Structure 1
Amino acid sequence: MTRFDRYLLSQFLALFGFFSLVLVLVYWVNRAVGLFDQIIGDGQSALVFLEISLLTLPNVIRVVLPVSAFAAAVYTTNRLTQDGELVVMQATGFSAFRLARPVIYFGLCVTLMLVLLYNVIVPASRTVLSARTAEISANLTARLLVDGKFMHPTDGITFYIREISDTGELRDVFLTDDRKASSRTTYTAQRALLVRGDVEPKLIMFDGMSQSYNLTNQRLSVTHFKDFTYDLGGLISAGEIPARSLDEMTTAELLFPTEAILAESRASRAALLADGHARIAQPFLALATSLIGFAALLLGAFSRFGLWRQIIGAIVLLVVVQMVNNAGSAAAQQSALMWPLVYLAPLLGVGISFVMLWVAQRPRARHNAGPGPNSSERGIV
């Protein structure tokens, strides 16, 4: 790698890191707002929110990196053109394809990052996230037991606890069951314990009273009890780990699906093949986007006012490549024989880039061409 290649690659990587950080923060904050309300609203701590947020970050980074690569390529090329650095290199004899060599290095670096994300980091993080979510769902104290607040775990149920002791004992419990249309039952107890039964969780109340009001005949029945067991199975799920989604499966399982994998995922063979090949093809979109951004700006002439027309054209080409990517992915989901369409968008993006690079150096070729066969005659004339 020459000094020029290292210099240009360092410029791309520096801007790539900046744009990636900004886009990841924007995207993550947008998603974290809803996640915060959901987790904190269910009684979880801020540490749980931080843990779940970190587990969702790999998927966010996977989405952001191709866009960051495109933005870094466009911004760096535009700045180097305005400063005249690329113009000087072209004047020394560098062709468009030679100038694009550090861009290819840069695109391959981002592609390698995405390969690791798609095939290793994201599936692992999704697996841990699914298991952690199921564990949190099974945490009854965090989901239901919040002292000093009226909770509504399901329609028709109101639950209140004045205080939860350090040992887990519930004090001054109030529970109203209004799910039946013909009656309404209210339980009050001085103390209570939440225990996990053989099948379903149970609430054991001590020294309390049950008041059942019949709406049909408008009669109130009052029962005092020393201890009473209330079944919470209909209110709180046990938090079982669900079947794995396609994002949690390994790439080998998707590319070579067995009958067991098909039964577990409840998806078609075409869907598994499309997702598996997408993990190989999608990372190369970073190479395609960075080359598109660089080649499109290389078409423009030197201007102190920037290359806005070329930038807009590069964005349009990026949108076209993404539309082809969406169409190819959708078609691959329909038939197990259509998985090669997943590779269409990266190949199209790289092909468009090479065509633009070829067009960008054609004027230089004509300008550097030697005098024609009749040049001496024109000089004499």
Structure 2
Amino acid sequence: MKRLSRHLFQDCAATSLVTLGTLTFLIMLPQILLLTDVWINKGAPFSVLRQMILLAIPQFMVGTLPMALLTGILLTLNRMARDSELVIIKASGVSIWQMLRPVGLLVVLFTVLSLLLNWIWVPRAFFEFTTLKRALLTSSSALTLQPRTFNRDIPGLTLHVERQDPISGTLEGVLIHDQRNPKEVVTITARRAHPHTRADNKAALFLEDGSRHWVTQAGYYRHMQFTRFDLGLEVVLGLVPAHQKESVDELDPDELLAMLDQGTPEKRHAALLEWHRRLAFPAATLIMGALALPLGVRQSHRTGKSFGFAAALLILILHFLLLASGEALATRKFTTPLIGLWLPNLIMAALTAWAFHFGAQGRLAPDWRWPGSAAPVPDPAPPDPHGSMTR
């Protein structure tokens, strides 16, 4: 039994890990292409690109963990069924509850990994990723603007340039629309501009031969000609944390608890929703892994190769549709976060208990009959070709 448990655990773990890597890469591919575009067009260092890709991995693994676990277990059991290994295991008297021990160990490991991702690694990685992205888009070394295009990389600023020197970075034919102060919107034109860094490590544009237009709070139009003008972009350069944590996705558990206790009603609701979401997704991983076993052991050697993938896909679509719908209802306050995020898990847990109950009996569903109807009549035995014939 120990050898069987070791064999089952190793096969399920190997298939699940390969599936995890494949699914994570496929889902991350659009994000990798976007970061590659920033690397090519913005001139960002490759080391920064590599760090941003590594920081994005935990965010995507939160969703791919239950997918990989369910798919890996089903594919492994599907292969064992096609090779008649499941038939031999069942004929040896091994029950589904005995097979649950090695598979359950793998499910617990994946669930613990999901908890660590949701509570520790993802908030830190999301905060560092956002910091790197903001610093990258607003650093002078990455201030490569698309000519004859309205560039809005810097919040509150719209920049339009006719040409940029690829070597010196000098901008020519500059038009700037500054809305960072809603009470005093400014429009600036300049013949040329030179990006540079101030002593406080903030980005700025040194403008030459231009004009500045704005309307005061009293409603008066103002116009100013200048030969030289230094416009601060008010963004910190360098790849260091330069912004406060604004989203609940970036908060550590202690900060999330502080928001639950001291935040405004809107922030408390968002923090409560995030708290339940960080617990609901690991619970979904546990349920998906447990549901895979009774579905997998009911396969036979006649089952097609695509059965495991098709079954996993249908279950995943159902579960994540329920989770997404519940989270959307809780976000819009049509229901509480507790109900919105945990009712889908309760439904899938009931389905898992159903599958285990009938899977232990060698079937996945009861024999349905209308009340009062007779039991189904078994098929008659075939005639014996060597028997006697009656006249």
TM-score range, shorter chain: 0.7 to 0.9
Post-superposition CA distance 1:248-287 (Å, at most 9, x none): 1123443563465x35xx9442321121122122112222
Whether the 8 Å CA contact 2:74–2:309 is kept in 1: the answer is yes
**Closer, same or farther in 2 for the Cα pair 1:19/1:42, shift >3 Å?**
same
Residues 46-100 of structure 1: CA deviation (Å, up to 9, x unaligned): 2222221111111112221111111101100111112222222222222222222
Which amino acid in the other structure matches residue 122 of structure 2?
A: V
Bigger mean CA deviation after superposition, 31-40 or 336-345: 336-345
Contact 1:107 1:287 in 2 (8 A): yes
Paired residues of 2:70 and 2:312 also in contact (CA < 8 A): no
Structure 2 residue 47 is matched with structure 1 residue 78: no
Aligned to 2:191: 187
Shift of 1:102: 2.0
Q: Distance in 2 between matches of 1:141 and 1:10?
A: 49
**Unaligned ranges ≥5, structure 1:** 165-169, 213-222, 365-381
For residue 159 of structure 1, report the CA deviation from its aligned partner: 4.9
- The within-5 A match list for 1:137-216 is 137-144=137-144, 153=151, 154-161=158-165, 163-164=167-168, 173=170, 175-178=172-175, 187=191, 194-196=196-198, 201-204=203-206, 210=209
Superposition TM-score, scaled by structure 1 size: 0.73
2:342 is the counterpart of 1:339: no
- Matched residue of 1:283: which SS? helix
What percentage of residue pairs aligned between the two structures are identical?
22
The one-letter code sitting in structure 2 at the alignment partner of 1:161 is D
Conserved in 2, the CA contact under 8 Å of 1:297 and 1:307? Answer: no
User: Alpha-carbon deviations, 1:284-311, whole Å to 9, x = none?
Assistant: 22222222222123234x2344376676
**Corresponding letter in the other structure for 1:285:** A
- Tell me, yes or no, if the aligned pair for 2:162 and 2:174 is still in contact at 8 Å: yes
Whole-Å Cα distance in 1 between the matches of residues 48 and 109 of structure 2? 33
2:318 is aligned, of 307, 320, 337, to 320
Q: Aligned in 2, Cα 1:232/1:110: closer, same or farther, shift over 3 Å?
A: same
Q: Check 1:252–1:344 CA distance in 2 against 1; reply closer, same or farther (3 A cut).
A: farther
State the one-letter code of the partner of 2:275: G
1:165-195 CA-partner distances (Å, limit 9, x unpaired): xxxxx7xx55323569xx9965369xx6724
Aligned in 2, Cα 1:267/1:56: closer, same or farther, shift over 3 Å? farther
Contact 2:67/2:316, CA 8 A, preserved across alignment: no
Aligned-pair RMSD on alpha carbons? 3.6
Distance 1:112 1:211, change over 3 A: closer
CA contact (8 A) 1:200 1:231 kept: no
1:193–1:137 distance in 2 versus 1, CA, 3 Å: closer
Q: SS of the counterpart of 1:257?
A: helix
1:13 CA drift (Å): 0.6
What's 2:248 paired with? Answer: 246
Equivalence map 1:87-102=2 (5 Å): 87-102=87-102
For residues 159-308 of structure 1, what are the structure 2 equivalents within 5 Å?
159-161=163-165, 163-164=167-168, 173=170, 175-178=172-175, 187=191, 194-196=196-198, 201-204=203-206, 210=209, 228-233=227-232, 236-239=233-236, 241-255=243-257, 257-258=259-260, 260=262, 262=263, 267-300=266-299, 302-306=300-304
What CA distance in whole angstroms lies between the structure 2 residues aligned with 1:315 and 1:145?
Answer: 43
Q: Which whole-Å CA distance do the structure 1 matches of 2:341 and 2:188 have between them?
A: 58
CA separation in 2, counterparts of 1:201 and 1:109? 46
Report deviation, 1:363: 4.4
Question: What is the CA–CA distance in structure 2 between the aligned matches of 1:194 and 1:5, rounded to whole Å?
Answer: 64
Residue of structure 2 equivalent to 1:108: 108
| Alignment match, 2:25 | 25
SS state of the match for residue 158, structure 1? strand
Aligned residues: 329
Whether the 8 Å contact between 2:291 and 2:352 is mirrored in structure 1 is: yes
Q: Label 1:150 to 1:311 Cα distance change in 2 as closer, same or farther (>3 A).
A: closer
Q: Residue 44 of structure 1 contacts residue 143 of structure 1 at CA under 8 Å; is this kept in 2?
A: no
Counterpart residue type for residue 293 of structure 1: A
| Amino acid across the alignment from 2:315 | L
